[in-house]
Amino acid sequence: MRKEKDISDDQLEHIIDALEDQQPVTDKETQDMAELLLHAGECCSSGMFDADSAWQSFKHKANNKRRRIYVAWSAVAAAILLLFVYRSVVYWTDDLLPLTLFTAVDGQNNIVLNYGNENTVIIVDSCIDLTSAKNDKHIKYSIQTPVGKNVHVLLPDSSMIQLNAKSSLTYQLSAVSGQRNVTLDGEGYFDVKRDTLHPFIIQTRGVKAKVLGTSFNIRNYEREQLHITLVKGSLALEDSSNSQKIMKPGEDAELLINGDLLIKETKVENSVLWTQGYFVFDNIPLSEMMAEIGRWYNLNIKATNKEVTTRHIHFRCHRSLSIDTIVDILNEVGYFKLERKDNTIFIK
């Protein structure tokens, strides 16, 4: 969609006449030309300049007059027109293509357990109990949850894990040390069985958490900051540079962009209420909140107003609410608009 107005015909005529002029230009004329070109550039960057029209007009006049253009001014003209075209492409692309925050998933809608040397796959309805399974060093367990579902997992060592929607976890005893090795993508709440002889080690996005017996939450979704929240016990964290930090209950560790871990006090209940069926968004960007909603209801989330996606939100509701009800509630906030079309929610 075009903005308020294009550059005027007189201004366009002035630019083309100057570029076609065979006579040398004075310093004053050069300064005037620079100011005019600067104005044209501003028009272009704001979406007011029609590069197509300018080029067609330029060609038409050049053919009619059959006038020779100085090489220097030809280069300037070409550079300016290329700048107009480039800026117009960037402008229109940014304006027309929405930012995708979450993409709905087709197909698999079941919780999947994968284990054993033969990669046996079991489709699970609600929970996974592996306490009767053999805690064998040669068996690797893998669990995946789809969008819109979470699952309770009892590991062979009796540790309990609750996995949130669209998450995956692997568990295996080390063949050498006997330590319990876990990897996590997505979100999980852990209540780890204490065993001093077999430390519980979690690897997630370059961070290693060493556990003896403790309860904590890890959130590690794509495009979001990694957060580890300690409920009780203690955690020894190690980042990619092998720097170690000890967490205390009531603290949250956030992985910064530079790879460092920032530990600070937090409201623990806000991080774990999802295990009781709630959405809890406490001062987080709208982009993360809407991605979470998309993950639960399996909806495409797109933003046509990118500025509002960085605003921080305080919002809490039960996951049993319909998506239309949640959209209506959020639209009462006032500074953004959600619009649902079929399987897509647009942020405007």
Structure tokens at 19: 């570029």
| pLDDT at site 29 | 52
The alpha carbon dihedral of 55, 58, 62, 64 has a sign of positive
Which residues make up the CATH 2.60.120.1440 domain(s) of the chain?
111-272
- What is the per-residue pLDDT for 118? 58
Per-residue confidence in pLDDT tens, the chain, 348 aa = 434 344 455 555 555 555 545 444 455 554 555 455 444 444 444 444 454 555 455 455 545 544 444 444 454 455 454 444 444 444 444 444 689 999 999 877 889 888 876 567 778 777 899 888 766 777 889 999 999 999 999 998 899 999 999 999 999 988 777 889 999 999 999 999 998 888 999 999 889 999 978 999 999 998 898 999 999 999 999 988 888 999 999 999 999 888 889 999 999 999 999 999 999 999 999 999 999 999 999 999 999 988 899 999 999 999 999 999 999 999 998 789 999 999 999 999
102 has which bridge partners?
Answer: 301
> Where in the sequence of the chain do the CATH 3.55.50.30 domains occur?
277-347
Task: Provide the pLDDT for residue 218.
Answer: 97
Distance from C-alpha of 261 to C-alpha of 239, rounded to nearest angstrom:
7
Q: What pLDDT is attached to residue 344?
A: 97
* Res 335: pLDDT: 83
Neighbours of 112 (CB within 10 A): 17
Q: Are 49 and 84 in contact (CB under 8 A)?
A: yes
- pTM equals 0.71
Dihedral angle, C-alpha 90, 91, 93, 97, nearest 10 ° = 140
Centre a 10 Å sphere on the Cβ of residue 33 and count the other Cβ atoms it contains. 18
What is the reported pLDDT for 288? 94
Question: What is the fold, at CATH topology level, of the domain defined by 111-272?
Answer: Jelly Rolls (2.60.120)
Q: How far apart are alpha carbons 124 and 332 in whole angstroms?
A: 39
**In angstroms, rounded to a whole number, what is the distance separating the alpha carbons of residues 230 and 345?**
34
The residues facing 315 across adjacent strands are 281
- Residue 115: Cβ-neighbour burial (10 angstroms; 0-12, 13-18, 19+): buried
Q: 277-347 in CATH: which number?
A: 3.55.50.30
Query: Do 158 and 171 touch, CB atoms closer than 8 A?
Result: no
d(CA 48, CA 41): 10
The residues, any chain, with a CB within 8 Å of residue 65's CB and separated by 6 or more, are: 20
Q: What is the pLDDT of residue 124?
A: 79
218 in Cβ contact with 190 (< 8 Å): yes
Task: Specify the pLDDT at position 321.
Answer: 96
Per-residue three-class SS string for the chain: CCCCCCCCHHHHHHHHHHHHCCCCCCHHHHHHHHHHHHHHHHHHHCCCCCHHHHHHHHHHHHHHHCCCCCHHHHHHHHHHHHHHHHHHHHHHHHHHCCEEEECCCCCCCCEEEEECCCCEEEEECCEEECCCCCCCCCCCEEEECCCCCCEEEECCCCCEEEECCCCEEEEEECCCCCCEEEEEEEEEEEECCCCCCCCEEEEECCEEEEECCCEEEEEECCCCCCEEEEEECCEEEECCCCCEEEECCCEEEEECCCCCEEEEECCHHHHHHHHHCEEEEEEEEHHHHHHHHHHHHCCEEEECCCHHHHCEEEEEEECCCCHHHHHHHHCCCCCCCEEEECCEEEEC
Distance, CA of 252 to CA of 254 (rounded, Å): 6
